[in-house]
Structure 1
Amino acid sequence: MTSRSTGSTKDIDTDTSRKGSLAALKGLLPFLRPYRRQFALAGVALLFAAAATLAIPAAFKRMIDLGFGAAAGAGSSVTSIENVDATFLALFGVASVLALATAARFYMVSWLGERVTADIRAAVYRHVVRQSPEFFETTRTGEVLSRLTTDTTLIQSVVGTSISLALRNTLLFSGGLVMLFVTNPKLSAIILGMLVLVVLPIVLYGRRVRKLSRDSQDRIADASAMAGEILNAMPTVQAFTHEAIEAGRFQVSVDSAFATAIRRIRARATLTMLAIVLVFGSIVFVLWLGAHAVLAGTATGGELGQFILYAAIVAGSVGALSEVMGEAQRAAGATERLLELLAARSDIQDPADPKALPPRTANGARVTLDDVSFSYPSRPQSAALSHLKLDIRAGETVALVGPSGAGKTTLFQLLLRFYDPQAGAVRLDGVDIRDLPLHTLRDAIGIVPQDTIIFSANAMENIRYGRPDASDEQVIAVAKMAAAHEFIERLPDGYGAFLGERGVRLSGGQRQRIAIARALLKNPPLLLLDEATSALDAESERLVQRALEAAMLGRTTIIIAHRLATVQRADRIVVLDDGRVVESGTHASLVAHGGVYANLAALQFQPAAPVEQLG
């Protein structure tokens, strides 16, 4: 099977960088469609608000021509006062409609922004947690977190604000333009022609703003990725006294993000200035022509006032649209980055025609590796396993030993189907694991990893992670089996004690006993132990070893161990070297054979040579 670089964002970036400036925003449509009703309500409120705004200049024209104009021609008549009163009453009514419609529009679009952003975050996270380890070989965790937070916040501003403003100003621009032609066709034709000339440089410069927006988001993601990596390795950083060095590295990364952001801000400021100067310059020129028309008697003062207000609405809407365009371009870059995550496809998928495991027997599960060959995607030229053949009977306890890099951990990863072999097959109870649903396969396997993961939760919930529906009594029972009950009881809040991020409040041995209890709670037919007792002291190891021996009853167990004292009682010891089985047998038979295992046993069990006394 050919491996695909699904996690490589570099390849995806090359493709998406060729998209149009706002084309990426189309990717938001699947998240917007479920809320068509809310969009329709916001649209109705938007239409009322735009209509109310466009009605204001007409009311001012009526007030000037029928009120002030009539008063100037015939003295202070009652009719002029009535016209003014009626006009201001109408203006108040229009303002009331505008206020209600604007409030309704603000509520609906803000709701949409929050809802759609939450949906996007959930969808991206749900997609990422289903990716295979290959994805995380090429994608940094900090970068994913940046996309989930910073990028979705930008999209929230677009969905919750910018789209509404864009539609509002588009309506005002269109309606204002129509009313300009109704008021004075000649002046409107001139202003429209000039607007066409000024929009072209604005659009061209906007492309530069989009590129800088994307670069700015990339630099922020780089800084977040660096910070996440260093914070997770803080004990190592402090042990090597690299605090100042890492702070300096982060400062350089932050300064790079700042410099890119300043270039983006400068470009947006220039774009805004260019839009305002060109648009308002054109309008001022046309208004100068209109003023001369009033003086020449070819237009009334009310018409000019109405024309000025509509021109202001059109100009303001163009200026607002240019600003919204800048926000939309930033969101387009953010959307591209999120769509890259959603487009990543793992090679490890549920089968199209899944099979079921046979009913569980009292002895556990049978495991077969049939001529398996595998190379990691990041190291395709180096074989981690080569034509490996291994048959483990149900209920058998098999220990895997061998030098580092022999393929022991790789075998575990193939059993869990974190990767698929390039050749051969891995079978569980006679079923190729590629034909099993991933949940079915992994539910049948319990693992105690060498690097124990403790979540930011209490002791009870950390153990219950093995089986979320387990009762408190069941959790406590397996904690006792794993020799974890006593130290948990001594914690300030017992099983309710918060264990700290990554279990920083526990010792290495305590963390490992939590992991053993978690695996025992799952009660799987196949148990994988990766150096399960490596971090325990002699007394704890004795207790846990006894618990593990009890837990091995009725299940198949595969143990990885570098400390050979922990595997002497295994039913069979399999020695791996360079991804192949080189020896297999019991401890006694392998020592008598005098091969690789015998050499390893001699190194570990041979007593140290006596030290010569001085003098």
Structure 2
Amino acid sequence: MTDSSTSTEPSRKGSLAAFRGLFPFLRPYRRQFIMAGIALVVAAAATLAIPYAFKQMIDLGFGASAGARSIKHVDATFLALFAVATVLALATAARYFTVSWLGERVTADLREAVYRHVVQQSPEFFETTQTGEVLSRLTTDTTLIQSVVGSSISVALRNALLFLGGLAMLFVTSVKLSSIILGLLVLVVVPIVFFGRRVRKLSRDSQDRIADASALAGEMLNAVPTVQAFTHERIEADRFGRSVEGAFHTAMRRIRARAFLTMLAIVLVFGTIVFVLWLGAHAVLSGDMTGGDLGQFILYASIVAGSIGALSEVMGEAQRAAGATERLLELLAARSEIQNPAHARPLPQRTAGGAAVALADVSFSYPSRPDTAALAHLNLSIRPGETVAVVGPSGAGKSTLFQLLLRFYDPQAGAIALDGVDIRDLDLHTLRGAIGIVPQDTVIFSADAMENIRYGRPEASDDEVIAAAKMAAAHEFIERLPQGYRSFLGERGVRLSGGQRQRIAIARALLKNPPLLLLDEATSALDAESERLVQAALEAAMVGRTTLIIAHRLATVQRADRIIVMEDGRIVETGTHASLVALGGVYANLAALQFHHLQAAPSETQA
């Protein structure tokens, strides 16, 4: 995923090599596999016993001597056939239940493992991987693997046993005819294997095209209002249509190749069987074989031919699932650059004054833009309990600073310390548990208001959630919702206004009660009245904790203990509002622009 070799290397391996990666998911269920194997062997043995029973019936029941003895043998043979059929039915039912359970269980484990792995990846992973592609692998690819584990493996093993057992019984019946049929089958296998490899490659391509279409659909569905606002419905529908058509044509190439493979296998295998049976018919006419022997040979030959046909069909499924397995294993092989230290250090005992933050000569470039410095030789020291406002033009590095503090990325140079401990020496949960953030792009989950706020601290009581909502000026509008705190907020909070969503996010951060609070334009979506309420709540929340604020509004900036001004990834000015305005630099220009805007549009600021 993150490396080009990752995506190309597996495609050079065989199907079995791809499925080997599933062994860790199969290993915990050895007992169920043993039970399925026993049922499989019993069912195969019962199937292989049927032709022998028919031989006995033909030779002893319909032989030259007729009478009570022949009738006795016919009765016994049919009773034996019924007993074999009963055993076959019970064993087949047990096999079906066990392997179906295994398919469902292993697929559930695999989906859980992939999802657990993906949510632990750093943001760098999602710079190069589309969400729709991940969803395709979680759904389509795992469904294919479920088909293999819950059906195809069982069918393959069953037919492999039938093939081997039937072949052995063919030699018992007639060595000459069996030797001929075996030699011809070896010649048949070569073209089947050759075309099987082509089917596998096309299967991989087909899954990739489906993932591309899913990724495109996911991106557009998340941006429907923008699509409609720019009247791009037809354009985006055409784009998706072209992507789907591309997936269709790739799938058709796979289907044509697989259909040809199936046809080739059936024609070659049954052609071989018919030729050998023609020889057998002549052997009976010449007296070298009995009718029962030929009947037995025909049935065993049919079992062998049917098992080969079924194996070729399963091989097509396996080739397709092998591509899906490779894609999932690639996803599981992706390793985040951000890892927990081998020996994590604890944070010092928390004090009432909040956390101390220090950045020493920090330089950082995003992996997708390695030649552009987002931060350059940044030095910053923040005292416990201090409120620091970070201002500057877009692209100055303000949000990047927050991402580094949360250790979504590691700087290429320099170090960041929290309470004197390098954050790379902290367990990620310890670090992020000490930080609360209100992002500029508010995230609301598909749940009710109570659970959205409780996301900040899952063990919090309802009363604590309500208290946090009151602090964030969210209590009143939540109470007015149809079911109050139990009101479903819709996907991404579509039932709320922008300001309401932001107040939910603020309540979530306040409920967490961290020593370090990061506010990224926390009041940008609020109207004047809500901003006044939230500002008062935030001021109360800032007591006893360290706060970093990215903000442009002077009402927020002026209350900060210190203002740092960033430009091109560097700190260019530091001071209070008054001292920076007097300095006449970058901050003074930003303040003058905002003052001019406030004076030119006073009604807008009070809306």
Question: What TM-score does the superposition give when structure 1 sets the normalisation length?
Answer: 0.97
- In structure 2, what is the equivalent of residue 220 of structure 1? 210
Supply the AA of the counterpart residue of 2:539.
E
Q: 1:30 aligns with which of 24, 31, 35?
A: 24
State the Cα distance separating 1:10 from its structure 2 match.
4.6
In the alignment, the residues of structure 2 paired with residue 372 and residue 220 of structure 1 have an alpha-carbon distance, to the nearest angstrom, of: 42
State the Cα distance separating 1:470 from its structure 2 match.
0.4
* Aligned ranges 1:238-249 → 2 under 5 Å: 238-249=228-239
Answer yes or no: is the 8 Å Cα contact 1:210–1:326 preserved in 2.
yes
State the Cα distance separating 1:609 from its structure 2 match.
8.0
State the Cα distance separating 1:423 from its structure 2 match.
0.5
Answer yes or no: is the 8 Å Cα contact 1:9–1:139 preserved in 2.
no
Please state whether the residue corresponding to 2:27 is helix, strand or coil. Answer: helix
In the alignment, the residues of structure 2 paired with residue 566 and residue 361 of structure 1 have an alpha-carbon distance, to the nearest angstrom, of: 25
Is 1:582 matched with 2:572? yes
Answer yes or no: is the 8 Å Cα contact 1:268–1:326 preserved in 2.
yes
State the Cα distance separating 1:304 from its structure 2 match.
0.1
Q: 1:197 aligns with which of 170, 187, 190?
A: 187
* Aligned ranges 1:131-530 → 2 under 5 Å: 131-530=121-520
In the alignment, the residues of structure 1 paired with residue 598 and residue 54 of structure 2 have an alpha-carbon distance, to the nearest angstrom, of: 103
Supply the AA of the counterpart residue of 2:35.
L
In the alignment, the residues of structure 1 paired with residue 489 and residue 249 of structure 2 have an alpha-carbon distance, to the nearest angstrom, of: 40
Q: Deviations over 1:202-235 (max 9, x none)?
A: 0001111001101110010000000000000111
- In structure 2, what is the equivalent of residue 56 of structure 1? 50
- In structure 1, what is the equivalent of residue 583 of structure 2? 593
Supply the AA of the counterpart residue of 2:587.
Y
In the alignment, the residues of structure 2 paired with residue 357 and residue 9 of structure 1 have an alpha-carbon distance, to the nearest angstrom, of: 35
State the Cα distance separating 1:606 from its structure 2 match.
3.3
Q: 1:148 to 1:322 in 2, by over 3 A?
A: same
State the Cα distance separating 1:542 from its structure 2 match.
0.1
* Aligned ranges 1:88-107 → 2 under 5 Å: 88-107=78-97
Supply the AA of the counterpart residue of 2:123.
P
Unaligned runs of 5+ in 2: 602-607
Supply the AA of the counterpart residue of 2:533.
L
Q: 2:547 aligns with which of 531, 543, 557?
A: 557
Is 1:67 matched with 2:61? yes
Supply the AA of the counterpart residue of 2:235.
I
Q: 1:363 to 1:191 in 2, by over 3 A?
A: same
Please state whether the residue corresponding to 2:15 is helix, strand or coil. Answer: coil
Supply the AA of the counterpart residue of 1:325.
M
In the alignment, the residues of structure 1 paired with residue 228 and residue 474 of structure 2 have an alpha-carbon distance, to the nearest angstrom, of: 30
In the alignment, the residues of structure 2 paired with residue 205 and residue 385 of structure 1 have an alpha-carbon distance, to the nearest angstrom, of: 54
Q: Deviations over 1:441-484 (max 9, x none)?
A: 00000000000000000000000000000000000011011000
- In structure 2, what is the equivalent of residue 3 of structure 1? none
Please state whether the residue corresponding to 2:243 is helix, strand or coil. Answer: helix
Query: Which has the larger displacement, 147-156 or 16-25?
Result: 16-25
In the alignment, the residues of structure 2 paired with residue 90 and residue 124 of structure 1 have an alpha-carbon distance, to the nearest angstrom, of: 50
Q: Deviations over 1:307-348 (max 9, x none)?
A: 000000000000000000010111100000000000000010
Please state whether the residue corresponding to 2:378 is helix, strand or coil. Answer: strand
Q: Deviations over 1:105-159 (max 9, x none)?
A: 0000000000000000000000000000000000000000000000000000000
Supply the AA of the counterpart residue of 2:18.
A
In the alignment, the residues of structure 1 paired with residue 244 and residue 450 of structure 2 have an alpha-carbon distance, to the nearest angstrom, of: 40
Supply the AA of the counterpart residue of 2:367.
P
State the Cα distance separating 1:15 from its structure 2 match.
1.6
In the alignment, the residues of structure 2 paired with residue 491 and residue 222 of structure 1 have an alpha-carbon distance, to the nearest angstrom, of: 39
Aligned residues: 601
In the alignment, the residues of structure 1 paired with residue 540 and residue 480 of structure 2 have an alpha-carbon distance, to the nearest angstrom, of: 25
In the alignment, the residues of structure 2 paired with residue 15 and residue 371 of structure 1 have an alpha-carbon distance, to the nearest angstrom, of: 39
Please state whether the residue corresponding to 1:165 is helix, strand or coil. Answer: helix
State the Cα distance separating 1:22 from its structure 2 match.
3.1
In the alignment, the residues of structure 1 paired with residue 130 and residue 221 of structure 2 have an alpha-carbon distance, to the nearest angstrom, of: 14
State the Cα distance separating 1:380 from its structure 2 match.
0.7
Supply the AA of the counterpart residue of 1:25.
F
In the alignment, the residues of structure 2 paired with residue 541 and residue 46 of structure 1 have an alpha-carbon distance, to the nearest angstrom, of: 70
In the alignment, the residues of structure 2 paired with residue 312 and residue 609 of structure 1 have an alpha-carbon distance, to the nearest angstrom, of: 92
Question: What TM-score does the superposition give when structure 2 sets the normalisation length?
Answer: 0.98
In the alignment, the residues of structure 2 paired with residue 609 and residue 383 of structure 1 have an alpha-carbon distance, to the nearest angstrom, of: 36
State the Cα distance separating 1:14 from its structure 2 match.
1.6
Supply the AA of the counterpart residue of 1:65.
D
Please state whether the residue corresponding to 1:17 is helix, strand or coil. Answer: helix
In the alignment, the residues of structure 1 paired with residue 492 and residue 596 of structure 2 have an alpha-carbon distance, to the nearest angstrom, of: 37
Q: Deviations over 1:51-82 (max 9, x none)?
A: 0000000000000000011xxx23x4000000
In the alignment, the residues of structure 2 paired with residue 256 and residue 609 of structure 1 have an alpha-carbon distance, to the nearest angstrom, of: 56
In the alignment, the residues of structure 1 paired with residue 276 and residue 172 of structure 2 have an alpha-carbon distance, to the nearest angstrom, of: 16
- In structure 2, what is the equivalent of residue 4 of structure 1? none
Is 1:8 matched with 2:2? yes
In the alignment, the residues of structure 2 paired with residue 350 and residue 563 of structure 1 have an alpha-carbon distance, to the nearest angstrom, of: 37
In the alignment, the residues of structure 1 paired with residue 119 and residue 433 of structure 2 have an alpha-carbon distance, to the nearest angstrom, of: 17
State the Cα distance separating 1:16 from its structure 2 match.
1.6
Unaligned runs of 5+ in 1: 1-6
- In structure 1, what is the equivalent of residue 563 of structure 2? 573
Answer yes or no: is the 8 Å Cα contact 1:22–1:328 preserved in 2.
no
- In structure 1, what is the equivalent of residue 70 of structure 2? 80
State the Cα distance separating 1:544 from its structure 2 match.
0.2
Q: 1:608 to 1:361 in 2, by over 3 A?
A: closer
In the alignment, the residues of structure 1 paired with residue 512 and residue 357 of structure 2 have an alpha-carbon distance, to the nearest angstrom, of: 19
In the alignment, the residues of structure 2 paired with residue 562 and residue 519 of structure 1 have an alpha-carbon distance, to the nearest angstrom, of: 20
Supply the AA of the counterpart residue of 1:271.
L
In the alignment, the residues of structure 1 paired with residue 534 and residue 376 of structure 2 have an alpha-carbon distance, to the nearest angstrom, of: 34
State the Cα distance separating 1:377 from its structure 2 match.
0.5
In the alignment, the residues of structure 2 paired with residue 323 and residue 610 of structure 1 have an alpha-carbon distance, to the nearest angstrom, of: 75
Q: 1:10 to 1:255 in 2, by over 3 A?
A: farther
State the Cα distance separating 1:610 from its structure 2 match.
8.0
In the alignment, the residues of structure 2 paired with residue 415 and residue 241 of structure 1 have an alpha-carbon distance, to the nearest angstrom, of: 40
Answer yes or no: is the 8 Å Cα contact 1:367–1:426 preserved in 2.
yes
State the Cα distance separating 1:605 from its structure 2 match.
1.2
In the alignment, the residues of structure 2 paired with residue 562 and residue 343 of structure 1 have an alpha-carbon distance, to the nearest angstrom, of: 42
